[in-house]
Amino acid sequence: MQLSAQQRYATLQVMGTRLWVPRVHLQGAAPSVACDWPAPAKPISARERLLHQQHQQNQEHQQSQQPPVALPVTVQTVEQPAVAQPLQPLQATVWLLANGWQLVMENTDHQPGLQEADIKLLHNLLMALYPDGLGIVAQQVFNWPLLGVPVAVGDEGELSMTLHAFLTGARVQGVQLAGCLVFGERLFRLMEKSTSMPRLFASPSLFELQQDALRKQAFWQQAGNSGLRAAFASSPVVL
């Protein structure tokens, strides 16, 4: 049975297909564009399928006849875990000043303690930082490892905590610490791990300051830029 146009549209609408068929060509309207529908793919015949299979089999046979290619052999090396090196003993001289500041100076192998040149250098430095004059309240020596206390090999954290306890513990109970000036890279690295130290500043070791005048000049410039000179001079005498 042949359906009328209205019946065909109604049937397509029920099926969910919406079509628009032009009935009148409006004046001035753009011409309709023809859709370029792709042509359906031509099915492969049985003969073409057989030729394609034979071609693949010939390729596989040729590859199997070729000699195998020797691949580079990768030798995996097992990395040995790094062996922790024992920490070197540490000895440091600590000055407690009248304005609540502490000077911490490492005594190295070539500098077993404060020598006359060291004391003169420290005296000149204190005069430059505190022109009104500043006295030394206490002088003590820190030694590590502690006698009779076992220490794990390479345990730098324990050394840092021990040094921090020495500088802030019972020996300065009742003292309002204002700051700490550390001489030597190793000492400053250990002190950096102790975040509760107030106003922590670094300086080259006393030995380095005496051997290199340019380094001494650079430290004094850095002391101004970092705020060390201003902080030290503004700390009143409390002891």
> 3-class DSSP state for residue 139?
strand
Q: Is the pTM of this model over 0.95?
A: no
Local confidence band at 63 (pLDDT 50, 70, 90 cut-offs):
confident
Mean pLDDT of 92-118: 86
Q: What is the pLDDT of residues 164-178, one digit of tens each?
A: 888 888 778 788 889
Alpha-carbon span 104 to 94, nearest angstrom: 5
Task: For residues 198 and 102, give the distance between their C-alpha atoms in angstroms, rounded to a whole number.
Answer: 10
At residue 77 the predicted structure's pLDDT band, cuts being 50, 70 and 90, is low
Predicted confidence at residue 27, as pLDDT, reads: 76
Give the amino acid at 125: L
Phi, psi at 40, each rounded to 5° = -60, 145
Q: What is the mean predicted confidence (pLDDT) over 108-114?
A: 69
pLDDT tens digits, 13-54: 777 776 666 667 777 777 766 666 566 677 777 777 777 777
